[in-house]
Chain A
């Protein structure tokens, strides 16, 4: 548990949820910035931003990312992470011909042009199932390298997202090839197996295995999906890691009771403090994550 500080990442929006599912989901730039600022005040030091179009559909449009990022930055110095995954609707997907969808690579990589300090890098090919449709997310090794190069050129730190042990393989290769420098940032997404083929459910054993696979000088956070959010958060802290919460990963505060981003952050802060640890400030988190202290843009 690095210096007794825990980095809390808030993932307020995501690329799949809708206001129909939870009216508290922020989708527009002003809504997102307002929610993030409240979560920052409560103890979050990183925000994992997903962008949505005015019609709430997913996008990696850099103009929209820049609008969100600027609004957040005007309010606070929280670390800004932009997704290169996007989502399963809108600009991100095309029909492959039989009703199944593909998340388009040329849309995903636009996510690096919104001026974020960190961008997600999902260096794996995965198949999701949403609303009865297969959603292909092809990320072959050359594409992984291309995206890692783009981040390196822009001074963006990659956050390697892994839904299973197997997803750590390509990041490890890219790290060996020099596409990233320590500390390496990993986000273990556990409990996404209902939506994504091959994703692992949360268990302390799974998490422990993934932690043991980490290269030296890594920093990791854990995103528990749905009801796994709270136990995975505690597990991450026990294993010396950091924690992500937010409506992207989990819509509920408890069974049957919808949450807000602020409620999820506040509970996590209380849990961190009950474990005799403290939420990291953004500048402490920048130190832990190897980010420049001066804020981007």
Chain B
């Protein structure tokens, strides 16, 4: 537990959830920024942004990301992370064709995903693996990040001074990140996000268990810093497990739309509970400046808060 500080990441939106499932889900730039600024005041020091189009389908459109990022930055100095995963809807997906013929399968379009690095984020997610994701309607979507694609994305981040956040849903998904790190495409501290409990929606994703988390922590390269995203009911136990293992924590409606069984949450409630849990463990939520130091980010002057006076 470095210096007794825990970095709280809020993931307010994600690429999958809908306002139908939880009306508190922020999808538009102003909604996202409002939520994030409140979560930052409650103790969040990183925001994992996903962008949505006005019709709420997923996008990695840099213009929309830039709009969201600017609105957040106008209100607080939280660290901004933009997703290069996007989501399984809208312009992010397209049919897989072979010889010009539609195979009936659908994939997340790589050309859309990589646009996520163009909006000025300090961190971008890097999902360096191939997997099938399952939608509630039964559709299977292929996420294809071959080693070569992963390498190109890492290079694109390096060229732009963006820190990659290596997202791993299983121990095996740590292999390509470690390989790319060894190739020199990232510098310490390496940032890993372990996503546990996503097995209902992503093939090969590991359920949350203390044993799995311990195994993943042991596979980390030296000089790494990690956070854990527990999906659905795994959110709270995975958060506690992460802290016990010396890691950091992500919460938010992207990963879990409930506060407790049957009770919908909002982002602020999830952050407030986590901040209380962190303090009850004798630790303190990191400020954005402290989190930048721990994550090896260039310190940026805190943006003066726009107070509604």
Tell me if B303 is interfacial: C-beta within 8 Å of chain A. no
Cβ-defined contact, A276 with B281, below 8 A? no
Tell me if A80 is interfacial: C-beta within 8 Å of chain B. no
Cβ-defined contact, A204 with B277, below 8 A? no
B residues adjacent to A (C-beta < 8 A): 210-211, 213-214, 233, 236-237, 240-241, 243-245, 260-261, 273, 276-277, 280-282
Cβ-defined contact, B281 with A274, below 8 A? no
Tell me if A205 is interfacial: C-beta within 8 Å of chain B. yes
Task: Name the contact of B282 in the complex, choosing from A205, A255, A270, A275 (C-beta under 8 A).
Answer: A255
Cα-based distance from A238 to B237 in the complex (angstroms): 6
Task: Name the contact of A204 in the complex, choosing from B245, B261, B276 (C-beta under 8 A).
Answer: B245
- Tell whether A204 pairs with B237 under 8 Å between CB atoms, given A235-B244, A270-B280: no
Residues of B within 8 A of A255 (CB): 282
Q: How many A-B residue pairs have CB under 8 A?
A: 54
Question: What secondary structure prevails in chain A residues at the interface with B?
Answer: helix
Tell me if A75 is interfacial: C-beta within 8 Å of chain B. no
B282 nearest CB neighbor, chain A only: A254
A235 nearest CB neighbor, chain B only: B244
Task: Name the contact of B244 in the complex, choosing from A231, A254, A267 (C-beta under 8 A).
Answer: A231
A243 to chain B minimum Cβ distance, whole angstroms, is: 12
- In the complex, besides A230-B281, A274-B236, 12 extra interface pairs with C-beta distance below 8 angstroms are A204-B210, A204-B244, A204-B245, A205-B214, A230-B280, A231-B243, A231-B244, A234-B281, A237-B240, A254-B282, A270-B276, A274-B273
Q: From residue 201 to 235 of chain A, which have CB atoms closer than 8 A to chain B?
A: 204-205, 207-208, 227, 230-231, 234-235
Residues of A within 8 A of B282 (CB): 227, 230, 254-255
Cα-based distance from A267 to B241 in the complex (angstroms): 18
- Tell whether A208 pairs with B214 under 8 Å between CB atoms, given A234-B240, A274-B273: yes
Residues of A within 8 A of B276 (CB): 270, 274
Number of interface residues of A (CB under 8 A): 20
Cβ-defined contact, A238 with B280, below 8 A? no
Residues of B within 8 A of A204 (CB): 210, 213-214, 241, 244-245
Tell me if A239 is interfacial: C-beta within 8 Å of chain B. yes
Cβ-defined contact, B277 with A274, below 8 A? yes
A3 to chain B minimum Cβ distance, whole angstroms, is: 13
Q: Residue-by-residue, is A18-51 near B (CB-CB < 8 Å gives 1, otherwise 0)?
A: 0000000000000000000000000000000000
Cβ-defined contact, A207 with B210, below 8 A? yes
Residues of B within 8 A of A238 (CB): 210, 237, 240-241, 244
B215 nearest CB neighbor, chain A only: A205
A190 to chain B minimum Cβ distance, whole angstroms, is: 12
Residues of B within 8 A of A230 (CB): 280-282
Cα-based distance from A270 to B213 in the complex (angstroms): 25
Residues of A within 8 A of B277 (CB): 271, 274
24 A–B contacts, CB within 8 A, in A order? A204-B213, A204-B214, A204-B241, A205-B214, A227-B282, A230-B280, A230-B281, A230-B282, A234-B241, A234-B243, A234-B244, A235-B210, A235-B240, A235-B241, A237-B237, A238-B240, A239-B210, A255-B282, A270-B276, A271-B277, A274-B277, A274-B280, A275-B237, A276-B236
Residues of A within 8 A of B237 (CB): 237-238, 275
Residues of A within 8 A of B214 (CB): 204-205, 208
A270 to chain B minimum Cβ distance, whole angstroms, is: 6
A202 nearest CB neighbor, chain B only: B244
Cα-based distance from A149 to B277 in the complex (angstroms): 43
Cα-based distance from A274 to B277 in the complex (angstroms): 7
Residues of A within 8 A of B260 (CB): 276
A229 nearest CB neighbor, chain B only: B282
Residues of B within 8 A of A271 (CB): 277, 280
Q: Residue-by-residue, is A233-248 near B (CB-CB < 8 Å gives 1, otherwise 0)?
A: 0110111000000000
Minimum-distance CB pairs A-B, first 7: A234-B240, A276-B260, A205-B214, A231-B244, A254-B282, A204-B244, A204-B210
Cα-based distance from A61 to B57 in the complex (angstroms): 72
Cβ-defined contact, B280 with A275, below 8 A? no
Listed residue (B243, B260, B281, B282) with the most chain A CB atoms within 10 angstroms of its CB:
B282
Q: From residue 265 to 283 of chain A, which have CB atoms closer than 8 A to chain B?
A: 267, 270-271, 274-276
Cα-based distance from A65 to B241 in the complex (angstroms): 38
Cβ-defined contact, B244 with A275, below 8 A? no
Cα-based distance from A206 to B233 in the complex (angstroms): 25
B160 to chain A minimum Cβ distance, whole angstroms, is: 37
A236 to chain B minimum Cβ distance, whole angstroms, is: 10
B249 to chain A minimum Cβ distance, whole angstroms, is: 12
- Tell whether A275 pairs with B240 under 8 Å between CB atoms, given A204-B245, A230-B280, A255-B282: yes
Residues of A within 8 A of B244 (CB): 204, 231, 234-235, 238
A234 nearest CB neighbor, chain B only: B240
Residues of A within 8 A of B281 (CB): 230-231, 234
Cα-based distance from A274 to B260 in the complex (angstroms): 9
Residues of B within 8 A of A205 (CB): 214
Cα-based distance from A79 to B277 in the complex (angstroms): 28
Cα-based distance from A128 to B282 in the complex (angstroms): 28
